[in-house]
Amino acid sequence: MTDKLDLKSPDMVNENFEKLAELFPNCVTEGATGREIDFDQLRQELSHAVVEGNKERYRLEWPGKREAIVTANLPTTKTLRPVREDSVDFDNTENLYIEGDNLEVLKLLQESYLGKIKMIYIDPPYNTGKDFVYKDNFSKDKQEELVESGQKDEYNQRLVANPETAGRYHSDWLSMMYPRLKLARNLLTDDGVIFISIDDHEIENLIKIGNEIFGDINLMGPMIQNKLNSKNDTVNIQRNHEYVVAYRKRTEFITNTKIKPNLINKAWKEKTVYEENGEYYYLNDPITTRGEGGTLNKRHNLGYTIYYNPKTSEFVPEEDYDKELAKTSNSEEMVYSTIEEYLDRGFVPVRPPMVRGKLGCWTWSLNKTTEEKKNLIVTGKNGSYTLRKRTFIPKEEVIEEGGKLLYRYHSEGNSRSILEFSTNEGTTVLNELMGFQGAFDNPKNVEMLQYFINLITDKDFIILDFFSGSASSAHSVLKANSFDRGTRKFIQVQLPEELEEDHEARQHGYTNICQLGKERIRRAAKKIKEETGADIDYGFRVYRIDSSNMQDVYYKPQDYVQNNLDLFADNVKPDRTADDLLAQVMLDWGLSLSLKIEQAEVSGKKVFKVAENSLYACFDNGIDEDFAKAIAADAPLRIVFKDSGFKNDTAKVNVKQLLKQLSPETEMKVI
């Protein structure tokens, strides 16, 4: 059919609609004429204040929804402070463990990790009536939040009980989840995916807000997790399952993405690797058919003979022997002209095996077998020889264990929507690792999380879990990397929620969830390294959320007097270190917190070098022209100083001019 010219100008309304829909998928709704933009919702997205509106439309509404949107869009003045003493291999690792309110952390990651996270897994509160939700109220100041929530520790925790009798039982849960999912979507790569564990209490609401945030076309479908164990229920139908809801970020990446949405497999598989002349390969299934349709009477052209020499391992497809060209062949292989010659020289005929009592046939045609001969091999013993394909792999993908060469891979089995993973298994693994019973309530099954990780065929990407709990997802990343020597990185985010006084973990020295989670990662890393010897990244950098490193300004200009001007000579809080300042600079400049950090001395000053010359930072005092000349020799892309760190005002101007002259590509900033 011939394409016709439109013979009309572009429909700018539709084009603008699609642009808005991509930027604000939650503003797309249904109206009398079909899909429409909800302009009240759009106004809300573009406002820091609550926008009132009461137009009727099809969508999920709840008390507090507009506040939830405002909460997601409001900026934060918080920062992340490194905690080196809790970290493992801080300067070199690319894994992160962040302590703090996940809403604030997600906001802080918006620049550094925008569009960089390939996979998110979260296990949020299920809203069972017995757990907690975050009470996010953007209009209250810090003290009001502390008083209302009953939390008064240094982390400004905002977890509150949400019993089923509460008047906003579902609304409070929705208001908690909405801004977090909205911010999480920004962090996903275009072909990224998010997995969310949930049960019956909020499955419907989760899908509704998920459809609004990610678009219903990007819903990959809730998967049912058969827990393989359940408690008796004498009133209702017994529940022995939970759900995992999965969304991809963008539909147009369905065909190009390396994610296989519902491809859930029971286990990793491995194949024995063979070496031949410096090349490595593993064997695939025999090139033979199995079903009723694969018999010789159905496929007459696939019943040819292969001649094989057991002593030399040489084999020849039937076609080769009767070519006249064989007699004058200049090939390095000896090609004989008659069947008798093959038989006289020790060759034996190899035929396809029987199929259900009938003559079988090969899967490939004679021509294809001849063309692919270099990738084929005959295996078995006399009477049961068969033809198999060899798959060659790079040496770096070969694993040596117990004196054997192995290739581990993730089998691509049938698509499934039912996952069978015992919830008890997650508890057993954690208890054995920690060395005592009752380490954590309902930790996730590590194998299930590892399966989700392996749905993505890449081996180098970032996995984020902002309801980290006992850090099961970090454990899963380490296991996945140890199997295939991948370089996946994890980011764990967890509020340092206090454990109950009678919690078993307290008897072993753990007072909050973060302490338990960090120790779990350390122990898992040690165990995996001992068992596999894998050369992977076992470390993690710990960061803790806190107020800005910069001084708060409490005075209006007219209130300044000579006595208090000295308070602002240095705008950095006195308890903040150079490490603290570097973390805030990296976040503000949009650099990943996992970049390699080195420390050096230049002209007597301490200098941080991030990702070689991507960023230089010096927070010492007395910065002058000589230091600028020394730094310019390295030509860093970016450099940052304290505003109060220059020797004097003249030095500040001169340093800037020298850098422009000696290293024009260097961008200089001060804090």
pLDDT tens digit sequence for 310-328: 888 888 887 655 444 444 4
pLDDT at 481: 95
Whether the pLDDT of residue 238 is over 70: the answer is: no
More confident residue, 327 or 484: 484
pLDDT at 519: 97
Read off the DSSP letter of residue 648: S
In this prediction, residues 300-318 reach a mean pLDDT of 84
More confident residue, 293 or 59: 59
pLDDT at 654: 93
Whether the pLDDT of residue 336 is over 70: the answer is: no
CA 303, 309, 315, 318 torsion: positive or negative?
A: negative
**Residue 399 binned pLDDT confidence (cut-offs 50, 70, 90):** confident
pLDDT tens digit sequence for 546-577: 999 888 654 444 554 445 444 445 788 989 99
Q: Where are the beta strands (DSSP E) in 266-335?
A: 268-272, 274-276, 279-286, 306-308, 315-317
In this prediction, residues 225-229 reach a mean pLDDT of 66
Measured CA distances, 24 to 37, 80, 207, 246 (Å): 9, 29, 18, 20
Query: How many angstroms separate the CA atoms of 294 and 361, rounded?
Result: 6
More confident residue, 492 or 173: 492
Least confident of 3-12, 367-376, 611-620, 632-641: 3-12
Query: How many angstroms separate the CA atoms of 103 and 76, rounded?
Result: 10
Average pLDDT, rounded, for the chain: 82
pLDDT at 129: 60
Specify the pairing of strand 159-161 against strand 223-226.
unpaired
- Beta-bridge partner residues of 561: none
Whether the pLDDT of residue 32 is over 80: the answer is: no
CA nearest neighbour of 74 among 24, 8, 136, 153? 136
Block residue for tokens 């019993």: 163
- 545 Cβ neighbours under 8 A, 6+ residues apart: 78, 79, 80, 81, 98, 99, 100, 101, 104, 105, 108, 155
Whether the pLDDT of residue 261 is over 50: the answer is: no
Query: How many angstroms separate the CA atoms of 132 and 513, rounded?
Result: 14
Residue 527: both structure tokens together: 């165990």
- Beta-bridge partner residues of 542: 97
The greatest distance separating any two alpha carbons of the chain, rounded to the nearest whole angstrom, comes to 112
- Beta-bridge partner residues of 346: none
pLDDT at 147: 41
**Residue 149 binned pLDDT confidence (cut-offs 50, 70, 90):** very low
Measured CA distances, 344 to 55, 305, 326 (Å): 91, 17, 17
**Residue 373 binned pLDDT confidence (cut-offs 50, 70, 90):** confident
pLDDT at 234: 54
Query: How many angstroms separate the CA atoms of 538 and 482, rounded?
Result: 10
- Beta-bridge partner residues of 197: 244
Query: How many angstroms separate the CA atoms of 329 and 40, rounded?
Result: 81
Whether the pLDDT of residue 170 is over 50: the answer is: yes
Residue 21's identity, in one-letter code, is A
pLDDT at 360: 79
**Residue 161 binned pLDDT confidence (cut-offs 50, 70, 90):** low
Whether the pLDDT of residue 652 is over 50: the answer is: yes
In this prediction, residues 531-554 reach a mean pLDDT of 88
CA nearest neighbour of 212 among 30, 14, 73, 56? 30
pLDDT tens digit sequence for 430-445: 989 999 888 898 899 9
Whether the Cβ atoms of residue 386 and residue 380 lie closer than 8 Å to each other: yes
- 290 Cβ neighbours under 8 A, 6+ residues apart: 355
pLDDT at 177: 95
DSSP 619-630: --S-B-HHHHHH
Query: How many angstroms separate the CA atoms of 622 and 71, rounded?
Result: 42
Read off the DSSP letter of residue 282: E
Residue 360's identity, in one-letter code, is G
pLDDT tens digit sequence for 74-90: 888 899 999 999 999 99
pLDDT at 659: 92
**Residue 122 binned pLDDT confidence (cut-offs 50, 70, 90):** very high
CA 81, 87, 91, 95 torsion: positive or negative?
A: negative
Specify the pairing of strand 615-618 against strand 638-641.
parallel
Whether the pLDDT of residue 291 is over 50: the answer is: yes
Burial class (CB in 10 A: 0-12, 13-18, 19+), 241: middle
pTM score above 0.75: no
More confident residue, 551 or 147: 551
335 three-class SS = coil
Query: How many angstroms separate the CA atoms of 229 and 241, rounded?
Result: 9
Least confident of 391-395, 462-466, 543-547, 555-559: 555-559
Q: What whole-number percentage of the chain has pLDDT above 90?
A: 42
589: part of which helix (H) or strand (E)? Answer: none
pLDDT at 140: 46
In this prediction, residues 170-179 reach a mean pLDDT of 90
pLDDT at 30: 72
Whether the pLDDT of residue 307 is over 50: the answer is: yes
- Beta-bridge partner residues of 390: 283
Query: How many angstroms separate the CA atoms of 55 and 63, rounded?
Result: 15
More confident residue, 358 or 518: 518
Block residue for tokens 């270190």: 577
Whether the pLDDT of residue 227 is over 70: the answer is: no
Query: How many angstroms separate the CA atoms of 425 and 84, rounded?
Result: 33
- 394 Cβ neighbours under 8 A, 6+ residues apart: 280
Query: How many angstroms separate the CA atoms of 637 and 581, rounded?
Result: 18
Q: What is the CA radius of gyration of the chain?
A: 32
pLDDT at 228: 56
Block residue for tokens 């990943």: 592
Whether the pLDDT of residue 260 is over 50: the answer is: no
Return the top range by mean pLDDT from 160-164, 338-342, 636-640. 636-640
Residue 542's identity, in one-letter code, is V
Block residue for tokens 């009723």: 292
Query: How many angstroms separate the CA atoms of 419 and 264, rounded?
Result: 7
Query: How many angstroms separate the CA atoms of 364 and 303, rounded?
Result: 10
**At CA 117, angle to CA 535 and CA 256, rounded to 5?**
100
Whether the pLDDT of residue 656 is over 80: the answer is: yes
Query: Three-state SS across 126-173?
Result: CCCCCCEEECCCCCCCHHHHHHHHCCCCCCCCCEEECCCCCCCHHHHH
Return the top range by mean pLDDT from 56-70, 167-181, 370-384, 533-547. 533-547
Whether the pLDDT of residue 356 is over 70: the answer is: no
More confident residue, 358 or 361: 361
Query: How many angstroms separate the CA atoms of 6 and 4, rounded?
Result: 6
Whether the pLDDT of residue 267 is over 50: the answer is: no
In this prediction, residues 119-136 reach a mean pLDDT of 77
Residue 72's identity, in one-letter code, is A
Whether the pLDDT of residue 134 is over 90: the answer is: no
